[in-house]
Amino acid sequence: MKLNGGQALMKSLELEGVDVLFGLPGGATLPLYDPLIDSSIRHILVRHEQGAGHMAEGYAHVTGRAGVALVTSGPGATNIVTPLCDAYMDSIPLVVITGQVPYAAIGTDAFQEADTTGITMSVTKHNFLVTEAQDIPQVIHDAFHIATTGRPGPVLVDIPKDIVDPNNPRSGLDWHEPDGHDLPGYNPATEVDPELIRRAADLIVAAERPVIYSGGGILKARAAEALRDLAELTEIHVVTTLMNRGGFPDDHPLCLGMPGMHGNYTAVTALQESDLLITLGARFDDRVTGKVDAFAPHAKIIHVDIDAAEIDKVRRADVGMRGDCRAVIEALVAELRGRSGLHTVDRSSWNQTISGWQERYPLTYEQSAPGEALKPQFVLEQLRDGTPDDTIVVSGVGQHQMWTSQWWKFNHPYTWVNSGGLGTMGFAVPAAIGAKVGRPDRMVWAVDGDGCWQMTSQELVTAAAERIPVKIAILNNAYLGMVRQWQEMFYDERYSEVYLSPDLPDYVGWSRAMGCEAFRVEDVDEVESVIAKANEIDDRPVVVEFRVESAEKVFPMVPSGRSNSDIVVDPSQQG
């Protein structure tokens, strides 16, 4: 069958099961957009290429399938570099297709030319520059394989215009359907080493103060159920990092919640005082370890990761295993079930210590007095309690991100979407749109800050035009809140360039101009009813602006560069 390059690309995407593309056309991608008219793939026209990338990320977060974006050459490609880097840091499977100037014009500084593969080399798992139309089917097949296997990540495919242009002889090809991969050097781990499993089991059986330190690799490996089996079999408590919220249910008696810079006291301190960390799909991120040299000084380490490069990178492992988290956990459970002395060690003292921490240092805040601005924690409690248990929650980056992770109860996997590694402000609105496209059956709320919202809120036009009914809660404190908190605590309250104003812009007016329903809430008594009203709207996006207290800070906090032993709790718990 004779096809041109553009037709071959669309057919290749259909064969990979792609049902939606997030994109914005341009000169270099015109030959790709023409066959799209005849394709079964839904296209969502974004207002900025960064939005396309984050939407594809949100889609991938909640579905586990690769998100796909299509943008043009030059500025179209450079605008999507931030989502590529974001996905690379958080191991999100993406396939991004960029248009490129005609092959013969590459290197001539042609109009809208950029060295896209060079620019993105360090923020993609792999990238391709396709030089022959005949290669398109195989390259697309390889791109999805690389993006979704092993440690997931973004893959970029850069396609010169001439090889997809039906008017150019270089675009003609004989269609062929790929049936395999020839990728020398790419060998995702698939087998579990039984000797390492036995050594890990030995450490678990002997430990007096063990903690399971679970990271985003649990969700990537679809290992939430296996993790629960391991925890319940061993009766060992579990901490869930920012990237694994929902990977172990918050309402489970063995759940300690989130560790890290703004984790809760018990999770942070349990890690710090443990004698064994069973580290599953986590990478000893600096936001979890604090000062690395002082992190969990008495703990032996079991470290399981799909990426061999993570083993021994930050903390030397006593047992390091490269492997798929689910396969390793299932093998570990099988090994432990055969051990007669699994519960020989008395851990009652450790469990009592943990209970004591939980009782003394719960998350807390002081409710606002009548007439004062809302407390963000209160707003989040009302949102949490006023929405279905399986609501998908998407956050921006900053104080609101930490409060949301702290105060929400994540009892289901794939209900928490955020930018953990890169910390991308402006992530929430487009990622929420992508999440709603991926899971139209679920309610999707984004929690954003006023600073974040102003970065990508134009994508609400996309949501309104496409009838994607996401719900956005803006916690408007008129500041770049986390920066303000650091300036207050570490720069003697010298507030440099962090004030944004509560009224400029008019968030309600702006949202309505973009086709959304919008509300402003300033009174404690209105919070619950407005949330209920927003939940009833299902035919267009809704924005709710909550006016919250500017001076409120996120506690607990481990100051940057300090040991987790230096954790600072809420002022009411100090002393």
Q: Tell me how far apart the alpha carbons of residues 242 and 257 are, in angstroms, rounded to a whole number.
A: 9
- Tell me, yes or no, if 375 is annotated catalytic: no
- Tell me, yes or no, if 261 is annotated catalytic: no
- Tell me, yes or no, if 402 is annotated catalytic: no
**Residues 11, 125, 161, 220: which is the catalytic one?**
161
| Matching residue, tokens 């399981």 | 304
| Matching residue, tokens 């004030």 | 499
Q: Which residues of 4-33 are buried (b: 16+ CB within 10 A; e: fewer)?
A: bbbbbbbbbbeebebebbbbbbbebbebbb
How many CB atoms lie under 10 A from the CB of residue 484? Answer: 24
Question: Residue 87's closest CA among 35, 146, 38, 131?
Answer: 146
Q: Tokens at residue 497, please? A: 């360039």
- Tell me, yes or no, if 49 is annotated catalytic: yes
Q: Are 73 and 111 in contact (CB under 8 A)?
A: no
**Residues 111, 232, 235, 367: which is the catalytic one?**
111
Q: What DSSP designation does 367 have?
A: P
Q: What is the pairing mode between strands 255-257 and 238-240? A: parallel
**Residues 7, 10, 49, 487: which is the catalytic one?**
49
- Tell me, yes or no, if 161 is annotated catalytic: yes
How many CB atoms lie under 10 A from the CB of residue 421? Answer: 19
Q: Tell me how far apart the alpha carbons of residues 276 and 261 are, in angstroms, rounded to a whole number.
A: 21
Q: Tell me how far apart the alpha carbons of residues 428 and 528 are, in angstroms, rounded to a whole number.
A: 22
Q: Tokens at residue 443, please? A: 């309610």
**Residues 55, 402, 425, 482: which is the catalytic one?**
482
Q: What is the dihedral of CA 294, 89, 229, 273, to 10 degrees?
A: 10
Question: Residue 71's closest CA among 89, 54, 96, 93?
Answer: 96
SS (H, E, C) 91-150: CCCEEEEEEECCHHHCCCCCCCCCCHHHHHHHHCCEEEECCCHHHHHHHHHHHHHHHHCC
SS (H, E, C) 529-549: HHHHHHHHCCCCCEEEEEEEC
**Residues marked as catalytic:** 49, 111-112, 161, 482
